[in-house]
Amino acid sequence: MRQYLDLLQDILANGAPKADRTGTGTLSVFGRQFRHDLADGFPLLTTKKLHLKSIINELIWFLSGDTNIGWLKRNGVSIWDEWATESGDLGPIYGAQWTAWPTRDGGSVNQIDYVIDCLRNNPDSRRILFHGWNVEFLPDEKISPQDNVRAGRMALPPCHLLYQFYVANGRLSAQLLIRSSDSFLGLPYNTASVAVLTLMLAQQCDLEPGEIIICTGDSHIYSNHLRQVREQLSRSPGPLPRLEILRRPPSIYDYRFEDFSLLGYDPWPAIAAPVAV
């Protein structure tokens, strides 16, 4: 993942100081892209250890349509804890928009079902995508995530907001647009997550995995992550691992963490950093 490390170096060298919602402050650049062919290995960082269980279980949770952290906590994932209400609610965030986008007639649209139908029956379509940017439910930046949830809005607006898919020569590729990219903590998770999703969709639709392309809007490093970024950049990346899926579930909604096997992952130690809330 040399391209990811190059992005961190780019932000350090060229980033503009900017204020942000959390009050932490960032160095920021705008409009970057990198790509990775999944035939070359699974894009899990080797310059610091990542928690694959959190990445896969969060994706499974999104696909279930759940927006309460209860299931995550029972499955060893704490990454959403700071934004939830006392009862664990996060409002109509990712999973709600992915699987039950509300319609004018009071119904809903499952965007994931739409994507799978296109991949199976109309793979040359240029409309194979889903997204989570539902303006009606975006939070008010002036109040807390919890107060937004109590008002019926999202705790946080989507950062990884649009996923587009492309089929050519029997290979499935995915492009992800991230409007706001916490490049040290969040981006490695988003990269691995879209790779897992691409592997799952390829299996379900009898395709081979292709490329993932990551497009970032505001790509930033928080001011309290600068030391950690420099430590990571001092490390040499190792060979990428492989991720195998051990069974083919009946549908995209039936995967479990135990269905995945990570092979050959030998990373540097994890680097702790505070989350900007």
Of 122, 270, 119, which is closest to residue 203 (Cα–Cα)? 119
Question: Any binding-site annotation on 221?
Answer: yes
160 is in an annotated binding site: no
169 known member of a binding site? no
245 forms beta bridges with 260
Known binding residue 131? Answer is: no
Please tell me the distance from the alpha carbon of residue 165 to that of residue 45, in angstroms, as a whole number: 23
Q: Is 159 a catalytic residue?
A: yes
Give CA separation, 109 vs 104, 113, 130, in Å.
11, 9, 11
The catalytic position among 118, 159, 205, 215 is 159
Name the amino acid, one letter, at 53.
K
* Locus of tokens 């997204």: 131
67 within 8 A of 95, measured Cβ to Cβ: yes
Residue 163 is assigned to a ligand binding site: no
Q: Which two tokens stand for residue 4?
A: 């990811």
Distance of CA 215 to the CA centre of its chain: 12
Which of 49, 36, 63, 71 lies closest to 191, judged by CA? 36
Residue 127 is labelled as binding a ligand: yes
Distance in angstroms (rounded) separating the CA atoms of residues 49 and 179: 25
Burial of 105 (0-12, 13-18, 19+ CB in 10 A): exposed
126 is known to lie in a ligand binding site: yes
Q: Confirm or deny that 93 is annotated as ligand binding.
A: no
105 has binding-site annotation: no
Residue 225, annotated as binding a ligand: no
Residues 259, 247 contacting (CB under 8 angstroms): yes
- What angle in degrees, to the nearest 10, is found between the helix axes of 186-204 and 2-14? 150
Catalytic residues: 159
**Residues of the binding site for dUMP:** 21, 126-127, 179-182, 190, 220-222
**Residues of the binding site:** 21, 51, 126-127, 179-182, 190, 220-222, 276
